[in-house]
Structure 1
Amino acid sequence: MNKLQAMEVFVEVVDAGGFTRAAEHLQMPKATVTTLIQSLEKELAVKLLHRTTRHISVTADGAAYYERCLRILSDVREAEESLSRNRASPRGRLRVDVSTGMASAILIPALPDFFERYPDIALELGCSDRPVDLIEEGVDCAVRGGNLGDSNLIARRIGVINFATCASVDYLAKFGRPAHPRDLEQHQCVNYFSSKTGKTMDWDFTRDGERIEMSMRGKIAVNDSNAYASAGLAGLGIVQMTDFQMAPYLANGHFELLLKEWTTDPLPIHVVYPQNRHLSAKVRVFVEWIAELFSSQSGVSTSRSV
């Protein structure tokens, strides 16, 4: 038995919460995963996992061994990378998750630069506005907007995204322009709802110390940023969009900016990764690269633009 491989498999089984998911993440047969865990328990002469037909749980000995495995594997990877850092570029599969709008407008157009710098990294890019469980779904890191509630994640703030209100030219020609946020009560708006909670997001406006928060009236709500833009372009209502996603539509005349003197709350953006995993070279270079990308990106800032 390869002891280091068995440790890696054991850690993955615990993180994934089962043999099937661990086998998928490790890209090895489930039978191999099961055999390695059984061999590990036999050699250690302890039971590491409680198994039922529905789920697994870690024994007290297994929890202690898990923590030791994390430290050992981290030390081994760090030693390997310290020796190879000057001889080879980071390599391997990297799984990243990002929202659809951010992927389309910011990340994907910049990827040729990333691959030119790191040709040996194969990127698997998950694009959705659905919040993912990084550990359970085998994601190395994710770019997330908003306040973070996951205590098991390390977060690096990489920027702030601003929003503005706009509508399609066709919508404005048919229904007119609002002059004040309260005028929106007489308009149709496109709503956005959370994939996690199902809650529809309120809109907010601030000007000269006055603040207004509103629940918007509308016939359609979506949970995807690209679909949100498409609904606005189709004239289904007024939208409140990120600056970077709105910019090309303002430039080509499909959208017009509304309520220019009012600002909205900015959204902090973080790149996050699990704290119980060693920050591998491929994750490290991606984190540094995307932080650099956001620092120079139009429509993204380190503070609220005025």
Structure 2
Amino acid sequence: MDHLDAMRVFVRVVERCSFTRTAEDLGLPRSTVTEAVKMLEARLDVPLLLRSTRHVRPTPDGERYARHCRSILNDIEVAEASFSGRSPQGVVRASVHGTLARFFLLPHLPDFLARHPGLSVELRESDRLVSVIEEGFDCALRVGVPRECDLMMRRVTTLPEVTLVSPAYLARHGVPTHPDRLLADGHRMIGFWCSAVNGPMPLEFLCDGERRTVSLPTALTVSSAESYTAAAHAGLGIIQIPRYHAAAALAVGTLVELLPEFPLPAVPVTLLYPRSRHLAPRVQVFMDWVQGCFRA
């Protein structure tokens, strides 16, 4: 294994915090991954990783070296692409919300792959806030206001949201007339767990142009968008989701809109990616394509 390949392996170990996961990602024997790191440590004469039976993390020298490696490898990819005239090559690893992927991205993916035959795409679905760098993603497509200050951000679109309940829920609890009456009139919400606040997200409304939050009792809290919607169909409480995700249910009446005169603020959709002087061509074309999917 040459020096550049060893650097690629080392960066992946730092991102994945695991020799085993790195070997699986790169399709290499675990012993090859271990030897690549040992070769770099011998070359630099410093320990790059702290190893335990359950965890691998970089030393301070390892963190500094990994930053230099990322910059070097990215510059090489950009330079080679500018001279080769070839279409981008390699794997794009992206974290996405599953509902966004299924509704906006997957229908357009065959055309994207046909136009870029040298690329393959690895979509990891998650409703949690992944760590883009530590978990080895090239980018993440997020719904909501990003909180990461160490990543670059690219606004993709905003999505209108809607407050929903099932007809059965309304039959039991009645139709509220104002967000301020929800708690007093005994209404319940389905909690959607948010790691950023370490608890269920409150409901949000616009009242006289001002954003207002309302927290209600919850009999159920979930961390999956699909379970969140399914719980509303089961009549367990009030939910708030992007309107596109509710279109089919609204059309057939299995969910109904609540308090439409007090709409939610539109929710931003953002691409997050690591800071770099240059963006690798494979990541650039993928993010351009993602943005186009929301315009289609």
From 90, 99, 117, give the equivalent of 1:92: 90
- Contact conserved, 2:47 with 2:59, CA < 8 A, in 1? yes
Within 5 Å, give how 1:158-169 maps onto structure 2: 158-169=156-167
CA-to-partner distance for each residue in 1:22-66, whole Å, 9 max, x for gaps?
333323122112222333344x35224254435443354x55544
Any gaps of 5 or more consecutive residues in structure 1? 297-306
- Residues 64-79 of structure 1: matches in 2 within 5 Å? 65-79=65-79
Name the CA shift for 1:190/1:13 in 2 (closer, same or farther; >3 Å): closer
Cα distance in 2 for partners of 1:222, 1:156 equals 28
Paired with 1:64 and 1:177, the residues of 2 have a C-alpha distance of 58
Contact preservation (8 Å) 2:205, 2:263: yes
1:148: how far off?
2.2
C-alpha RMSD of the superposition: 2.6
Q: For the residues of structure 1 that align with 2:69 and 2:136, how far apart are their CA atoms?
A: 18
1:188 corresponds to which residue?
188
Query: Could you say which residue in structure 1 is the equivalent of 2:279?
Result: 279
| Matched residue SS, 1:125 | strand
Q: Which residue of 1 aligns with 2:58?
A: 57
In the TM superposition, residue 264 of structure 1 has moved relative to its aligned partner by 1.6
**Alpha-carbon spacing, 1:139–1:260, altered in 2? closer, same or farther (3 Å):** same
Q: Decide whether the 8 Å contact of 2:12 with 2:136 is kept in 1.
A: no
Asked if the contact 2:93/2:123 (under 8 Å) is kept, the reply is yes
Partner of 2:27: 27
**1:102-157 deviations in Å (ceiling 9; x for gaps):** 22332233323333433443222211212212233222211012232323322111
Tell me the secondary structure at the aligned position of residue 178 of structure 1. Answer: coil
2:226 partner letter? N
Task: Give the C-alpha shift of residue 242 in structure 1.
Answer: 1.2
* SS in structure 1 of the partner of residue 127 of structure 2: coil
Is 2:165–2:237's contact at 8 Å kept on the other side of the alignment? yes
Kindly provide the CA deviation profile for residues 163-199 of structure 1, in whole angstroms up to 9, marking residues without a partner as x: 2212223332443321211332222322212145541
Tell me if the contact between 1:167 and 1:255 (Cα under 8 Å) persists in the aligned partners.
yes
Is the 2:144–2:267 contact (alpha carbons within 8 Å) kept by the matching residues of 1?
yes
Do the aligned residues in 2 keep the contact of 1:160 with 1:267 (CA within 8 Å)? yes
Does structure 2 conserve the Cα–Cα contact (< 8 Å) formed by 1:189 and 1:236?
yes
Query: Residue 16 and residue 208 in structure 1: after superposition, are their counterparts in 2 closer, same or farther (change >3 A)?
Result: same
User: Quick one: distance in 2 between partners of 1:189 and 1:67?
Assistant: 44
The answer to whether the Cα contact below 8 Å between 1:207 and 1:262 also exists between their aligned partners in 2 is yes
Deviations 1:256-288 (A, max 9, x none): 222111122332211112225963222111100
| 8 Å CA contact retained: 1:163, 1:266 | yes
Deviations 1:57-79 (A, max 9, x none): 3354x555444433332232112
Which residue matches 1:150? 148
Matched with 1:126 is: 124
Alignment of 1:1-306 (within 5 A): 1-42=1-42, 44=43, 46-54=45-53, 55-58=56-59, 60=61, 62=62, 65-85=65-85, 87=86, 89-185=87-183, 186-195=186-195, 197-209=197-209, 211-276=211-276, 279-296=279-296
Q: Distance in 2 between matches of 1:210 and 1:40?
A: 56
- Which consecutive unaligned segments of at least 5 residues does structure 2 have? none
Kindly provide the amino acid, as one letter, of the partner of residue 228 in structure 2.
Y
Looking at structure 2, the residues matched to 68 and 182 of structure 1 have their Cα atoms a distance apart, in angstroms, of: 54
TM-score by length of 2: 0.86
Distance change >3 Å, CA 91–CA 251, structure 1 → 2? farther
Query: Deviation of residue 233 (structure 1)?
Result: 1.4
CA distance in 1, matches of 2:248, 2:119: 30
